Amino acid sequence: MNPLIGNWLEFLKLCKIKIIKQSGMATAKKTRATTSKAPFTKETYTFWFESMLLMRRFEEKAGQLYGQQKIRGFCHLYIGQEACASGAISALKKGDSYITAYRDHAHPLALGTDPNAIMAELYGKETGVSKGKGGSMHMFDKERNFFGGHGIVGAQVPLGVGIAFAEKYNKTDKVCITYMGDGAVRQGAFHEALNLAMHFKIPVIFAIENNGYAMGTSVQRTSNVTDLAKLGDAYEMPSESVDAMKVEEVHNSVARAAERARKGDGPTLLEFRTYRYKGHSMSDPAKYRTKEEVQAYKRRDPIEQVKLAMQKYKFGDEAYFQEVEAKIKKAVLDSVKFAEDSKFPDPSEIYKDVYVQEDYPFIKD
């Protein structure tokens, strides 16, 4: 089992979310016969379902709180794209690194970061994962090798290459998965990063979360190249388009890319074809697409697909799904109370975490 999945299950226990033992199978022999047909283990499907459901419910609550003006500034929700995070985490190893853009609440949730700390960060409170200084777009969790949360479009792409280069330099077998949106591939830094990574065979996985619209303009209106996986061809980089509404497909593609990187063969470009149900940010009414299009993608919802698979393979019954739904709802509500009960940072905090040198002499009050 992936150690991260084990950590996730331990986290769920802390949240008092029970992993219910399923009934309905007459004998152990029948259980083995039924589950042997599943492409992944029960533990993996459990991780996918519960981590994606937590992301979904957390983001739904964040959107509600933003409407109540309890969360300020920018806010970019991940609803619909959950498989891009869960499928990658199940395929990678503990110690691998993650970096993404500003749609960044869900990745640390899937990695096991305390929802209380993430909600507090959205509130700008001192108990937040970035001490209330980052807000929605700048989540960070060093303990889980989650390196943000970056507000400048495409800025995280060369940073991800740098993180992966450090692993190569130190002769570890670790990789860095570097997420970006489809709009980021128009930035020069993206192409510079791909060129450098391929030239030096750096163990980085480039993951384009292609939700079709970047900030609000469709891929078809911004480029003659709409198959974004082809962008790797210019650098002779192995590339693949992935149906990222299916978490199994995400897992398989990331596992192949990670194996290649760990062998010393360098980077892979993955185009995760996904979809966001909400607008680019909370201020985006998303009038550039039809309701019919959104509904068509919702019929392929990644969480519902995993739920159906779990039912098919007898990994979960209705009692289990209801139990998890209730416990995750409580965990999210608890995170809101924690955030609201927490204090805002002291004004003196503005001078901290800026320079490594604690007694930096050029700070003026």
> Which pLDDT does position 223 carry in this prediction?
87
SS3 state of residue 145: coil
What distance in Å separates the CA atoms of residue 91 and residue 112, rounded to the nearest whole number?
15
Cis amide bond preceding 95, omega within 30:
no
No. of helices (H) and no. of strands (E), the chain: 13, 5
* Amino acid letter, residue 41: T
Domains with residue ranges and CATH for the chain: 3-342 (3.40.50.970)
pLDDT per position as a tens digit, 179-219: 999 999 999 999 999 999 999 999 999 999 999 999 998 99
pLDDT per position as a tens digit, 302-357: 999 999 999 999 999 999 999 999 999 999 999 999 999 999 999 989 888 888 88
Task: Give one DSSP letter per residue of 53-105, joined into a string.
Answer: HHHHHHHHHHHHHHHTTSS-S-----TT-HHHHHHHHHHS-TT-EEE--S--S
pLDDT per position as a tens digit, 111-133: 999 999 999 999 999 999 999 99
196: how many CB neighbours lie within 10 A of its CB? Answer: 17
SS3 state of residue 9: helix
Contacts of 41 (CB under 8 A, 6+ apart): 1
> Which pLDDT does position 342 carry in this prediction?
98
pLDDT per position as a tens digit, 70-121: 999 999 999 999 999 999 999 999 999 999 999 999 999 999 999 999 999 9
Query: How would you label 120-130 residue by residue, b for 16+ Cβ within 10 Å and e otherwise?
Result: bbbbbbbbbbb
Average pLDDT, the chain: 91
Dihedral of CA atoms 229, 233, 238, 239 in degrees, nearest 10, equals 0
> Which pLDDT does position 222 carry in this prediction?
86
Q: Is the pLDDT of residue 9 over 70?
A: no
Q: Is the pLDDT of residue 16 over 70?
A: no
β-bridge partners, 240: 270
Burial class (CB in 10 A: 0-12, 13-18, 19+), 134: buried
| Helix axes 42-67 and 115-123, enclosed angle (nearest 10) | 20
What distance in Å separates the CA atoms of residue 146 and residue 134, rounded to the nearest whole number?
14
Out of 27-31, 186-190, 206-210, 249-253, pick the least confident. 27-31
pLDDT class of 23 with cuts at 50, 70, 90:
very low
The pLDDT > 90 percentage for the chain reads 81
- Find tokens 């769920």 and name the residue: 12
| Helix axes 3-14 and 42-67, enclosed angle (nearest 10) | 60
pLDDT per position as a tens digit, 140-186: 999 999 999 999 999 999 999 999 999 999 999 999 999 999 999 99
- Candidates 146, 149, 156, 147; CA nearest to 183 is 156
Contacts of 233 (CB under 8 A, 6+ apart): 239
> Which pLDDT does position 350 carry in this prediction?
87
Dihedral of CA atoms 38, 43, 49, 51 in degrees, nearest 10, equals -150
Across 43-61, average pLDDT:
98
Q: Is the pLDDT of residue 26 over 60?
A: no
> Which pLDDT does position 17 carry in this prediction?
46
pLDDT class of 46 with cuts at 50, 70, 90:
very high
pLDDT class of 18 with cuts at 50, 70, 90:
very low
